[in-house]
Amino acid sequence: MDEVREKMKITAVSGYKAVGRNMTGVSIGKETIAIDNGIRLDTLQMYDGDTNTLRKRSVEELISMDIIPKQDRLKNIIAQLISHGHLDHIGALSINKPKVPIISTHYTAELGRKEYKDGNFYSVDYNEEFEISRNFSVEFLEVTHSIPYASIVVLHTDEGDVVYASDFRLDNHSQISMTDYKSLRRIGRENPKVLIVESTRAWDPGKTPSESVVRIKLRDVMELIDSGLIVATTFSTHIERIQSILDEAEKSGRTPMIMGRSFSGQISIAERFGILHLPPNARVFTTSKAIKRGLKEIRKRDDYLLLATGHQGEPTSVISEIINGKFPFRFRRGDSIIFCANTIPTPINYATRYILETRLKSLGVKIFDNVHVSGHAAREDHRYLLNMIKPEHIIPCHGGLEMRSGYATLALEEGYELNKSIHLLTNGDSIEI
Ligand SMILES: [Zn+2]
């Protein structure tokens, strides 16, 4: 008797209504693979502004607050895969506490362990096929993003491959990572059943610039600043950006003082992996006490570059705390601040950044904004990836309907059909393909 072939089911757990708290399920028969398990940062910030909320509240509350994914939308999970180490992809691990193997690249597993100490982490090299069960094996392909060791996750099954590309950009001039075009083309030639793809910037025309553009922008700004303290701020996970800031500090003869808990955690892992090299005179300050001590050392302001947390104006960041008088140190006229970050486009971030900038201006601090390029693919990057993979089906993920419909229109341009080969799901929806 012929074996009855079981269909593949994709479940949009969350990340399909708004940016953040990403989680997708792939099921065949009685087995389900969960991909990513993230938090939504802007809703988290609406309550406490930091991760204390996560510890104080129940899973049910955090789901209803739109902070974590509703993991029990997936039945019979046999493995948890993680695409990369951003909190909107790993931040809910410590709350949902998956008991199954958690599989990722080595670097991402290190970041995962930091979040979820009791997790059962397995880490693999890029391109190393890991057999999960009779139905599934997984392969992680190298891709450029704004964090080291990001991956495009490929689930190999008898029904065809599931390619999960969230998040990525195509940067051919990165100094610490690359995109594995050769393997992506191989996947395209094999049996690509479905592409699940992020869509945060699918409406943005053209191509996302390379990180090398930020290096030039930063140098340009630094050469303009001839005196005063320089404060730089960026995402603590963005190791290549941090390296550029430290390199420019070294070139300008300034001592880098790195301040904030999130920086020190990321930096120590990146140093261990040999992808971040601190200048010999760089100093890292983690606790409030240490930061206070560090700030006291700053006498001749022209000699220092402060790399500190606070690019979104977060109230508990080092920059906001300095402004709020927590430390015996003041910013003053003639100092400069370089935002090596954009404002994350949510109302709460616009508000906190507005407050921060207004207060900095009133102190006479010069502001250099948006020394930054996005970590996410723009429309033509997306088209390039789509044409390498040429999947049977497309499911845009990571974004509200307005973003995912941007990807859908791109796929229409490439000959796909809405509701036949392009599927716009919302949180909680499943589709059999
Ligand atoms: Zn990301």
User: Rounded to two decimals, what is the model's pTM?
Assistant: 0.95
In 57-118, at which residue ranges do the beta strands (DSSP E only) sit? Answer: 77-81, 102-105
Beta-bridge partners for 336: 230, 366
| Whether 253 and 154 share a structural domain | no
289: domain CATH number is 3.40.50.10710
Q: Distance from the CA of 84 to the center of ligand 1, in angstroms?
A: 7
C-alpha 79 chain-centroid distance: 21
Dist. CA 234–CA 371, nearest whole Å: 9
The 10s digit of each residue's pLDDT in 354-366 is 999 999 999 999 9
Same domain flag for 364 and 424 = no
d(CA 270, CA 85) in angstroms, rounded, equals 12
Q: Is the pLDDT of residue 9 over 60?
A: yes
- For Cα atoms 86, 92, 96, give the angle at the middle one, nearest 5 degrees: 150
> How far apart are alpha carbons 356 and 347 in whole angstroms?
14
**What 3-state class would DSSP assign to 337?**
strand
Q: How many Å lie between the centroid of ligand 1 and the Cα of residue 282? A: 27
**Ligand 1: distance of its center to the CA of 85 in Å?**
7
Contacts of 48 (CB under 8 A, 6+ apart): 56
Ligand 1 center to residue 147 CA distance, Å? 7
- What is the whole-number distance in angstroms between the Cα of residue 150 and the centre of ligand 1? 8
At 234-254, the pLDDT tens digits run 999 999 999 999 999 999 999
Structural domain for 289, as ranges: 211-368
Identify the band that residue 1 occupies on the pLDDT scale cut at 50, 70 and 90.
very low
Q: Are residues 191 and 217 both part of a single domain?
A: no
Given 318, 341, 368, the domain boundary residue is 368
**CATH number for the domain including 49?**
3.60.15.10
Is 324 in the same domain as 361? yes
Please indicate, yes or no, whether residues 255 and 322 belong to a single structural domain of this protein. Answer: yes
From ligand 1's centre to the CA of 168, what distance in Å?
A: 7
Of the chain, the percentage scoring pLDDT greater than 70 comes to 98
Q: Tell me how far apart the alpha carbons of residues 401 and 397 are, in angstroms, rounded to a whole number.
A: 9
CB 349 within 8 A of CB 312: yes
Give the pair of three-digit tokens for residue 273.
């992996």
The whole-number pLDDT of residue 347 equals 85
